[in-house]
Structure 1
């Protein structure tokens, strides 16, 4: 079945590889008989606005995004609860959303081939997964950071010379110099607790930073959020914990607690600087913040 598709491209993704990968995706989809319309913009905000307008005026059969997790994030905010399928050609530095969805995450060509296969039958091959609605009026699909991890995210976003996991590791090493715990009030469903913590992470997916499995047991289709809380750590303790996040064994550390629930509220109980939460690697909103998983809110191609 020939499909009508919008291909939303972040030209700057992957240090400029986004533009070329976007052209490859459009050409391959058209060669397969699909009607593919390219859409790009110089920044995420304008790309999201263009995509919203296009879907409002002329709803396509599916949207394909070419870019990193930030580009997927903007598409999630447009497509959540619409039923319009989302296809992903990952060309970012981490590509954790594609990774956690079981899609090709290192080879744009393989991702395009997967899309062609998904679109090749009488009915597109899709899968419904969870997305997370926030009190800030935004959605996310992967992971929310609200502690030291948020500061690392902000630092990594400013670092252009590195990519993927090395960029996040470098950001950790730079941010650890200012490490200090904050007082939090965390409510998971109806359970509220007050604690000091350095890491506060809510995962709908398992990894961030190119495979750092902060919430290793999180699944994108189980209707639950996994919450990681790390008690106050000295700098050297945090650095010793860091290598364990690649296989998820950090959850066995005595300083780490894992919770699970459907609705999570995060607030601070101290007078320190405001904490801005990050979601899917993008700045979301200052605390306090409530997030709620919505089962099956996002339809994914392939």
Structure 2
């Protein structure tokens, strides 16, 4: 029977996360599985717990949102340790990409019986931030500013915090000149953002890269170029369905490695946790992490 170590971000999801884990723990133990729970006090601490559990041959469960999922997933990438997600955060975008159920009983069934399947991870490297590995996406531009605002929001949760953060970011953003090199081919781009997506979703359910797949060995590179502000607000609404990709202001490329540079220190983020500035190199690590989904 499976042995699990749940690594909990105590700040994600508040009481909802705790309630979900309590129900899940009961179901796993009733089925004969062994479960130990560890509470992290930082992302680095969560990663250390996960690595140590993996070295003992245990399946690691990341309990929280995309920050802890991406942080632990990145730490375990290439180690062979199996990862499961217990979505209990604000965004839960990678869990959404894996179509994981919110219902504890359905989730317990997957964690107990699903065979591990390899997913791709994303490595991002910059002179300042060194090397980080995440699961979902790397985004350079107005969305990194929006994410920073969302993380600072105290009164709003979920999609509302991202939407409010987006509005605040767009009103102050001025277009940047990017140079984006995808698998050796250079593209110039003036606009709002460049997103390297492993997962279709970011920003709490926004479908930034509708055709992205977590196991295809490729990154979908979404570039949104300069447009009047009113059009950008329309684009923000279209992110709910992925319809934005049909607009002439949006270009989608695919590749295994890209270099993103800009004419000024443009901020970039990765899975809600990394907060750094360009330039950065982003590459896919195909099938580097076995996951239960």
TM-score scaled by structure 2? Answer: 0.93
Judge conservation of contact 1:132–1:141 (CA < 8 Å) in 2.
Answer: yes
SS at match of 1:39: strand
SS at match of 1:138: strand
2:231 maps to 1:237: yes
**Equivalent residue runs for 1:122-133 within 5 Å:** 125-133=115-123
**Equivalent residue runs for 1:97-108 within 5 Å:** 97-104=94-101, 106-108=102-104
Measure, in 1, the Cα distance between the counterparts of 2:220 and 2:167: 25
Measure, in 2, the Cα distance between the counterparts of 1:138 and 1:283: 8
2:81 maps to 1:84: yes
TM-score scaled by structure 1? Answer: 0.90
Of residues 165, 171, 175, the one that matches 1:177 is: 171
Deviation per residue, 1:144-166 (Å, 9 max, x gap):
11011111111111113222222
**Equivalent residue runs for 1:11-26 within 5 Å:** 11-26=10-25
2:28 maps to 1:29: yes
Deviation per residue, 1:193-225 (Å, 9 max, x gap):
222121211101101122211111111111111
Superposed displacement of residue 64, structure 1: 1.2
Measure, in 1, the Cα distance between the counterparts of 2:218 and 2:81: 23
**Equivalent residue runs for 1:47-62 within 5 Å:** 47-56=46-55, 58-60=56-58, 62=59
What is aligned with 1:200? 194
Unaligned runs of 5+ in 2: none
Judge conservation of contact 1:93–1:210 (CA < 8 Å) in 2.
Answer: yes
Segments ≥4 residues shifted beyond 4 Å: none
**Equivalent residue runs for 1:107-256 within 5 Å:** 107-118=103-114, 125-135=115-125, 136-256=130-250
RMSD: 1.7
Measure, in 2, the Cα distance between the counterparts of 1:110 and 1:238: 38
Unaligned runs of 5+ in 1: 119-124
Deviation per residue, 1:157-205 (Å, 9 max, x gap):
1113222222211111111210210111110001112221212111011
Aligned length: 289
